[in-house]
């Protein structure tokens, strides 16, 4: 089952920090991880990436795995450079105060499955 980013925002009570015009993007799977190596190995194209990593590499990883959006968990806020690069890549970014485990669980309850 696919859900729109708009629903992800509502479910996670998230703030949009990039890509506000892309909230109708359909997400068919999710992947939660704080390890770049696991993100590269186990995620699938088209996923929603949930992470606490806020370094510039996470945008590059998301681009490589063809993620449709990133949700930063635990209220972590990426820097301007990351937001700018995400804008260039047309990659929506959100922030939720929820923890990774809770965020994944809530999205799973609403029909989103793993990559």
pTM value is 0.95
CATH superfamily of this structure's domain 3-114: HprK N-terminal domain-like (3.40.1390.20)
Rg (CA), the chain: 12
Walk along the chain (115 residues) and give the pLDDT tens digit of each residue. Answer: 899 999 999 999 999 999 999 999 999 999 999 888 878 777 788 899 999 999 999 999 999 999 999 999 999 999 999 999 999 999 999 999 999 999 999 999 999 988 6
- Domain residue ranges of the chain, discontinuous segments joined by +: 3-114
Q: Residue 109: what pLDDT?
A: 95
**Spatial separation of the C-alpha atoms in residues 24 and 4, rounded to whole Å:** 5
């Amino acid at each position: 089952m696919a859900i729109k980013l708009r629903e992800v925002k509502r479910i996670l009570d998230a703030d949009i920090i990039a890509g506000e015009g892309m909230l109708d993007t359909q997400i068919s799977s999710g992947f939660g991880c704080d390890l770049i190596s696991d993100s590269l190995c186990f995620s699938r194209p088209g996923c929603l990436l949930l992470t606490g990593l806020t370094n510039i590499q996470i945008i590059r990883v998301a681009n490589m795995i063809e993620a449709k959006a990133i949700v930063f968990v635990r209220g972590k806020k990426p820097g301007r450079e990351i937001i700018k690069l995400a804008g260039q890549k047309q990659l929506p970014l959100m922030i939720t105060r929820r923890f990774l485990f809770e965020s994944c669980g809530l999205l799973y309850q609403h029909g989103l499955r793993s990559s």
